[in-house]
Amino acid sequence: MAKVDRRVEPQNVFDEISKWLLRDGFDIVIDMDKSKGSHMINKINGEDWLDFYTFFASAPFGMNHPKLDNPEFKETIFRAAINKVASSDIYTEQMAQFVKTFGEVAVPEGFNHVFFIDYGTLAVENTFKVAMDWKVQKLLEKGKIGKGDAIKGRRGTKVIHFHEAFHGRSGYTLTVTNTQDPNKYQYFAQYDWPRVLNPKIYWPLEENLGVVTWLERYAIKQIKQAIWDNPDDICAIIIETIQGEGGDNHFRTEFFQQLREICDQEEILLIFDEVQCGMGITGKMWAFEHHAPVKPDMFAFGKKSQICGLVAGPILDEVGDNCFKVSSRINSTWGGTLVDMVRATR
């Protein structure tokens, strides 16, 4: 077999990628050595690009932070990178260190379950699976659904979601994603789940309070109508604490309080999607912490945390055989990539 020269010069990077992939990204070949902090160096011509992009808001410290770019840490992360361990079944000290650190630093008081996976969309997707499992078992306990319908997910599996939401691009999340770019979801199969108005704040709030409160009342009316139209069929309400791709849309604490009350009354789980707005970017670890005392039953995280996943509270334990107690109900091959766990721990 002939020896293959795998080297690619910077000026040839775009051509090589374009042979096999849609190259629709930025016109930069990033210099992985010389780029520092918020400055990306273009290896083609040496240009210094100021980074407001941060890899879809997933790089909390920029490039080559000195606490990461040093011999000691490089050796640590190399050991995690050279073998890709299936952390869902095989345990390591590095994984335990990450779980311990995440639990102590990132999990808020009042939550007791964590699940790790690659990709934010799969984090959100698994919040849906957890909610469906919980709701359907609740219906079974009350005799409101037969075993056959329960197994097929014929009731208790719908998710109320909001206009201008982006929750991901796979499976269930395609149904709840509806931002202005239809290329992300058109032509793909979707479920008939209730979609309601997003009563976002119009700034300055003081001048627009009347409009915003009217929008909130309208959204709550739509939610209650959706619950009425789908009896015992709604397992969750999901909302981005701050809608990102939908337009940097913020919501009032008073609106979140109303969502909390409805979910408590109707035995529905409240899910906050914090994949983009979580991990300290708002000044608190999680954006919903600005809306105390409101807490979700679950929230999804990702991007800046390096590992994605979900955090859930004790309400899930109202069902004995919930997804956090029964093996294989939610899982993945890698359980979150070990090398990302090591980076996140540091």
155, HSE (Cβ side, Cα atoms, 13 Å): 18
Q: Which of 307, 303, 310 is nearest to 280 (CA)?
A: 303
Tens of pLDDT, residues 56-102: 999 988 999 999 999 999 999 999 999 999 999 999 999 999 999 99
**What residues contact residue 140 under an 8 Å CB cut-off, 6+ apart?**
147, 150
Joined together, the tokens standing for residue 217 give: 């009342």
Are residues 99 and 225 both part of a single domain? yes
Of 76, 111, 127, which closes a domain? 76
Q: Are strands 48-50 and 39-41 parallel, antiparallel or unpaired?
A: antiparallel
213 falls within a domain:
yes
Are residues 157 and 266 both part of a single domain? yes
Are residues 67 and 169 both part of a single domain? no
315 falls within a domain:
yes
2, amino acid identity? A
Are residues 156 and 57 both part of a single domain? no
Residue 107 has what DSSP assignment?
S
Q: Distance between CA 108 and CA 311 in Å, rounded?
A: 9
Are residues 70 and 100 both part of a single domain? no
Tens of pLDDT, residues 253-308: 999 999 999 999 999 999 999 999 999 999 999 999 999 999 999 999 999 999 99
Are residues 31 and 114 both part of a single domain? no
Q: What is the CATH number of the domain that holds 336?
A: 3.40.640.10
Are residues 52 and 123 both part of a single domain? no
85 falls within a domain:
no
Q: Distance between CA 124 and CA 299 in Å, rounded?
A: 8
pLDDT of residue 2 exceeding 80, the answer is no
Tens of pLDDT, residues 187-245: 999 999 999 999 999 999 999 999 999 999 999 999 999 999 999 999 999 999 999 99
Are residues 109 and 67 both part of a single domain? no
Q: What is the pTM of this model?
A: 0.95
Q: How many domains does the chain fold into?
A: 2
Q: Distance between CA 300 and CA 120 in Å, rounded?
A: 7
Joined together, the tokens standing for residue 179 give: 């931002």
98 falls within a domain:
yes
5 falls within a domain:
no
CA-derived radius of gyration, the chain: 22
CB atoms within 10 A of CB 346: 15
- Identify the pLDDT of residue 153: 87
pLDDT averaged over every residue in the chain: 96
| Structural domain boundaries, residue 59 | 10-76
Are residues 200 and 250 both part of a single domain? yes
- Identify the pLDDT of residue 40: 97
Are residues 296 and 154 both part of a single domain? yes
Of 45, 76, 107, which closes a domain? 76
158 falls within a domain:
yes
Are residues 217 and 273 both part of a single domain? yes
User: Positive or negative CA dihedral for 121, 122, 125, 127?
Assistant: negative
User: Positive or negative CA dihedral for 244, 274, 237, 254?
Assistant: negative
Q: What is the CATH number of the domain that holds 36?
A: 3.90.1150.10
Are residues 69 and 155 both part of a single domain? no
- Identify the pLDDT of residue 241: 99
143 falls within a domain:
yes
Residue 30 has what DSSP assignment?
B
Of 19, 43, 76, which closes a domain? 76
Q: Could you give the angle at which helices 71-81 and 338-345 cross, rounded to 10 degrees?
A: 150
pLDDT of residue 185 exceeding 80, the answer is yes
Q: Using CB atoms within 10 A of its CB, is residue 63 exposed (0-12), middle (13-18) or buried (19+)?
A: buried
pLDDT of residue 39 exceeding 70, the answer is yes
pLDDT of residue 108 exceeding 90, the answer is yes
Longest dimension (CA), the chain: 74
Q: Distance between CA 92 and CA 135 in Å, rounded?
A: 34
- Identify the pLDDT of residue 1: 64
154 falls within a domain:
yes
Cα–Cα separations (whole angstroms), residue 87 to 75, 303, 334:
20, 19, 5
User: What is the rounded average pLDDT of the residues 131-149?
Assistant: 95
Percent of the chain with pLDDT over 70: 100
